[in-house]
Amino acid sequence: MVLKVINTSYTMKEMKSLIRKIIVRLALLPLVLILMVIVPAGTFNFWQAYVYFGILIIPMMYILFFFLRNDPVFMERRTRLKEKEKEQKIILVVFNLVFIAGFVIPGLDKRFGWSDVPAWIVLIADLIILLGYMLIFAVFRQNSHASRIVEVESGQKVITTGLYSIVRHPMYLGILIMYIPTPVALGSYWGLIPMSGIILGLILRIANEEKVLRQNLEGYIEYCQRTRYRLIPFLW
């Protein structure tokens, strides 16, 4: 999203509720990763997975607690998962299938030995994932309305500076950088096939999101005219 909002105060009750929600999701994440990666691998002898889990979870915890302290309203928005747009609900299903396959296949790859990815390539993929994380964090700091869902709220304004002067959806660029190399970080080349589906998913999401923003967000059409590229600089 490319929206900006002025922070409002959070009551203690709201803060406690938000913290509980975040803690539950953080607690579930390792379990989900184990089910999607370790179980298909059929072994705990999977160092690539543990390095990846650390790279995924540790920065996530830092970002979560950074914004809990500095912008809890933003964190509340990030916990919203129910899409309002019918098209986005369909796209979300596509994303979920892509992500599941993109994690399960590397696990199966480990079990059956389909790929032989050198350790140095695995570590380079991990570094690229960290770069994607850093980009997403920068977007979050610039745009307190980087929501998980497509919505336009009262009082929002278009952000046209910083990362948003380069591409209209820098958060999605960060997601692309972060997740495309994930199968390689897990020691699998074959996992790149389903994970590449994220590109199509993002294209479809951006097309629908921009339709909503053009209709409901003042100044967005002019912003699109000034900032040519949607996702990847000099390409699209």
- Give the pLDDT mean for 117-126: 97
Pick the CATH number of 3-226 from 3.40.50.1000, 1.20.120.1630, 3.30.450.30, 1.10.510.10: 1.20.120.1630
1 and 150 in contact (C-beta within 8 Å)?
yes
* Residue 180, helix vs strand vs coil: coil
What letter does residue 164 receive in the DSSP assignment?
A: G
Q: What is the pLDDT of residues 186-224, one digit of tens each?
A: 999 999 999 999 998 899 889 888 888 888 878 888 989
Domain boundaries, the chain: 3-226
DSSP secondary structure code for residue 4 in this structure? E
Instruction: Report the C-alpha gap between 125 and 76 in whole angstroms.
Output: 31
127-147 pLDDT per residue, tens: 999 999 999 999 888 887 777
pLDDT of residue 37: 96
Residue 160: the pLDDT is 85
Q: Longest C-alpha distance within the chain, in Å?
A: 54
What pLDDT, on the 0 to 100 scale, is given for residue 213? 83
Q: Which of 50, 48, 45, 54 is nearest to 118 (CA)?
A: 48
C-alpha separations of 84 from 2, 10, 117, 155, 169 in Å: 17, 25, 41, 19, 19
pLDDT tens digits, one per residue of 161-177: 889 999 999 999 999 99
User: How sure is the predictor about 90, in pLDDT bands with cuts at 50, 70 and 90?
Assistant: confident
Q: Distance (Å, rounded) from C-alpha 179 to C-alpha 171?
A: 12
Integer angstrom CA distances of residue 45 from 87, 121, 164, 179, 192:
41, 19, 42, 23, 22
- pLDDT above 70: percentage of residues in the chain: 88
Q: Give the pLDDT band of residue 61 (cuts 50, 70, 90).
A: confident
Is residue 3's pLDDT more than 60? no
CA distances from 120 to 24, 185, 187, 199 (A): 34, 10, 11, 25
Whole-structure pTM value: 0.85
* Buried b or exposed e, range 43-72, using 16+ CB within 10 angstroms: eeebebbebbbebbeebbeebbeebbeebb
- Token output for 87: 């098209």
- Collapse the DSSP code of 3 into the 3-class scheme (helix H, G, I; strand E, B; otherwise coil) and give the result: strand
